[in-house]
Structure 1
Amino acid sequence: MAGKLKIKNREGGFLIGVIGDEDTVTGFLLPGVGQVDSKRNKNYFVVSSKTPITEIENAFRAMTTRDDLAVILITQHIAEEIRHLIKDYDKLIPTILEIPSKDHPYDKEKDTVMQKVLRMRGTQ
């Protein structure tokens, strides 16, 4: 079948990455999503109101180049800060998914992935 995506199996499976505020990241770490490897690479990044945008950009770039992440969850209000990087991101894996946070509701109009899906379906 032409255009069929093949995802290489990875021993030990794939991880989920998380970029968000402290409450959101903690909510994913408690059930065991977090991992720190021997090189001190983490699959999560906590953003506060004092975190420079360059640090968020660097964390996003680092996560999107990892071959052990299948999905990166990013809270939508933080995604807004690095929207230029998310719009330019064109890989399927890891997939970027925008999620709401406790203090910021989800707005599908701002979600670039949702906009792409709607365009592909011809509903936008």
Structure 2
Amino acid sequence: MANRAQIQTNNSALIAMIADEDTIVGLLMAGVGNVDLRRKTNYLIVDSKMILLMLLSFAYEKCSLCFLETTVKQIEDAFKEFSTREDIAIVLISQYVANMIRFLVDSYNKPVPAILEIPSKDHPYDPTQDSVLSRVKYLFSAESVASGRR
């Protein structure tokens, strides 16, 4: 117990979310959402479906139609931001989104914020792809071997 690292926490730690719209809306309805004074949110809605947006082009005074979806760069930026913010204690990320930035998720090794992969409505959870779960399994198997238990 004396060798355990002390993790600094504050009383107002947040949960950040990177997931599809349905998952984010459910978590927002549960009260997890936050918007700070600088209008920064603690979530990113990853839109894997193409959404039709109407953009007004003021230069030509006509409407143009454009298809937009969340880019991998936006997901990477949100993950980096959420994992470095001091007011966030947990980052919930849909597993299919985590697979898009697997190199970042696998290389993340800090205890706070904790990164947890969650299922989504359209993509079931696969424990074999969860890097955090595999690290925990490895840790417990190494402890059981070291203590002589099997």
TM-score (norm 1): 0.93
SS, match of residue 10 in structure 1: coil
Instruction: Output aligned runs, 1:79-94, within 5 Å.
Output: 79-94=98-113
Distance 2:9 2:39 in 1: 24
Which letter does structure 1 place at the counterpart of 2:79?
F
Q: Which runs of 5+ in 2 are unaligned?
A: 49-68, 143-150
Q: Percent of aligned pairs with the same residue?
A: 46
Matched, 1:40 2:64: no
- How many aligned residue pairs are there? 122
Question: What is the root-mean-square deviation in Å for CA atoms of aligned residues?
Answer: 1.3
Q: Which runs of 5+ in 1 are unaligned?
A: none
More strand by share: 2
- Offset from partner CA, 1:48-70 (integer Å, 9 cap, x none): 12211000000000000001111
Which letter does structure 2 place at the counterpart of 1:25?
I
Q: Which has the larger radius of gyration?
A: 2
- Change beyond 3 A, Cα 1:35–1:106: same
Distance 1:26 1:5 in 2: 35
Matched, 1:119 2:113: no
Q: Which residue of 2 aligns with 1:4?
A: 4
